[in-house]
């Protein structure tokens, strides 16, 4: 009898703990920073997309997100608790603090902030791409920036004309950053569905230019944006691929700039290169890769081929030097960039964080 009572107590206690855990998770993922799944007119538009079926967006060629038998939870636990030499730098990363507000309006420049965040001033317009100036995670103890790389903050950004968000992952769309940037004005350019997060966070729907792959939009005389495929995935919570991921081609009076976002190698690079025969600068992912993610992140062995497929005059690599989201050494992407320049004879820009690069 005592054993039965003890077993019953354990079952009741387990049920209570499960309910409490579910409640905690529910409260956590319903914070504003997780954004909101598309609804209303936006959802109707998503349902008409040729890239959306079975309740989710899909890549042009179906590829697995993970290539091993391990679950995502196992991968996360290994990353959090396994000691990896060289994952983070031992000393502060060199950073130049450029006063963006004092750059003359007639200068064509790019300033990279580390990882995938950068500022472009071109032909009198200011463009900000995937700004993340805080942590790249929903929790404060994961994905903190490397020492020295947190030199830039939203208050350092001048008024902008175009804010580009390539997809809604935490290391490309940061709630605190974009909410603090709302007063900077300008239009938001994003992939289909991502506008739901921004509208939920207080952005004016009329200022959001939301595009599906192979759609384009005029922006100003001489300026247009083309939304193009990428091989990746999306999601901020428990429901992946409810929003689209994309690359973009920014067409300006003097230059065409390819904003690659995240994504693995595929035939879309060659198609983009054929469609846009004059790409002056291609900004490509380099870092936070792993063999288990080889289809949805650009692996080092394919970086040069992607650049050649695009036929880009100059290359800038991003997605590195600020956060440790994968298992390689923190400085390995910098070696990749130098290898592209030296071994593949490509014109690769390798600036320090914050350095003003003349375009």
Assess contact for 199 and 205: CB atoms under 8 A: yes
71, with CB counted inside 10 A (0-12, 13-18, 19+), is exposed
The answer to whether residue 358 scores a pLDDT higher than 90 is yes
pLDDT class of 20 with cuts at 50, 70, 90: very low
- The tens digit of pLDDT for each residue in 224-280 reads 999 999 999 999 988 899 999 999 999 999 999 999 999 999 999 999 999 999 999
Please give the pLDDT value at position 79. 55
Residue 199 main-chain phi, psi, to 5 deg? -65, -40
Who contacts 226 (Cβ-Cβ below 8 Å, separation ≥6)? 214, 215, 216, 248, 249, 251, 276
Q: Across residues 300-329, what is the average pLDDT?
A: 97
pLDDT class of 70 with cuts at 50, 70, 90: low
- The tens digit of pLDDT for each residue in 179-225 reads 999 998 899 999 999 999 999 999 999 999 999 999 999 999 999 99
pLDDT over 70 for what percent of the chain?
87
Q: Which two tokens stand for residue 142?
A: 């994961």
Please give the pLDDT value at position 344. 92
**Rounded distance, CA 17 to CA 114, Å?**
41
All domains of the chain in start order, with CATH: 100-358 (3.60.15.10)
Can you spell out the DSSP letters for 167-183? --STTT--HHHHHHTGG
- The tens digit of pLDDT for each residue in 279-306 reads 999 999 999 999 999 999 999 999 999 9
- The tens digit of pLDDT for each residue in 124-144 reads 999 999 999 998 887 877 789
Q: Which residue has the tokens 């054929």?
A: 274
- Most confident segment among 11-20, 79-88, 93-102: 93-102
């Amino acid at each position: 009898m005592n054993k039965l009572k003890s077993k019953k107590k354990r079952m009741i206690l387990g049920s209570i703990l499960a309910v409490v855990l579910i409640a905690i998770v529910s409260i956590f993922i319903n914070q504003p920073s997780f954004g909101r799944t598309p609804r209303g007119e936006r959802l109707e538009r998503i349902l008409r997309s040729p890239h959306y079926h079975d309740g989710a967006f899909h890549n042009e060629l179906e590829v697995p997100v993970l290539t091993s038998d391990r679950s995502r939870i196992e991968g996360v636990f290994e990353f959090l608790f396994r000691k990896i030499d060289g994952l983070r730098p031992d000393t502060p990363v060199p950073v130049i603090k450029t006063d963006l507000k004092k750059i003359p309006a007639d200068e064509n420049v790019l300033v990279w902030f580390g990882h995938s965040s950068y500022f472009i001033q071109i032909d009198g317009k200011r463009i900000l791409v995937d700004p993340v100036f805080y942590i790249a995670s929903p929790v404060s103890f994961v994905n903190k920036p490397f020492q020295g790389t947190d030199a830039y903050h939203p208050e350092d950004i001048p008024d902008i004309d175009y804010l580009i968000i390539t997809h809604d992952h935490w290391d490309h769309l940061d709630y605190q950053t974009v909410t603090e940037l709302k007063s900077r004005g300008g239009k938001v350019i994003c992939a289909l569905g991502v506008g739901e997060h921004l509208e939920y966070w207080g952005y004016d729907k009329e200022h959001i230019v939301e595009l599906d792959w192979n759609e384009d939009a005029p922006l100003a005389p001489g300026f247009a944006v083309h939304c193009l495929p990428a091989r990746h995935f999306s999601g901020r919570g428990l429901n992946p691929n409810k929003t689209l991921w994309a690359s973009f081609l920014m067409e300006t009076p003097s230059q065409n700039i390819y904003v690659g976002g995240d994504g693995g190698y595929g035939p879309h690079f060659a198609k983009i290169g054929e469609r846009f025969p004059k790409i002056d600068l291609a900004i490509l992912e380099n870092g936070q890769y792993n063999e288990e993610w080889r289809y949805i992140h650009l692996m080092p062995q394919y970086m040069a081929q992607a650049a050649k497929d695009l036929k880009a005059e100059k290359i800038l690599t991003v997605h590195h030097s600020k956060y440790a989201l994968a298992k390689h050494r923190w400085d390995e992407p910098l070696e990749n960039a130098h290898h592209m320049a030296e071994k593949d004879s490509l014109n690769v820009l390798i600036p320090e964080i914050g350095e003003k690069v003349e375009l």
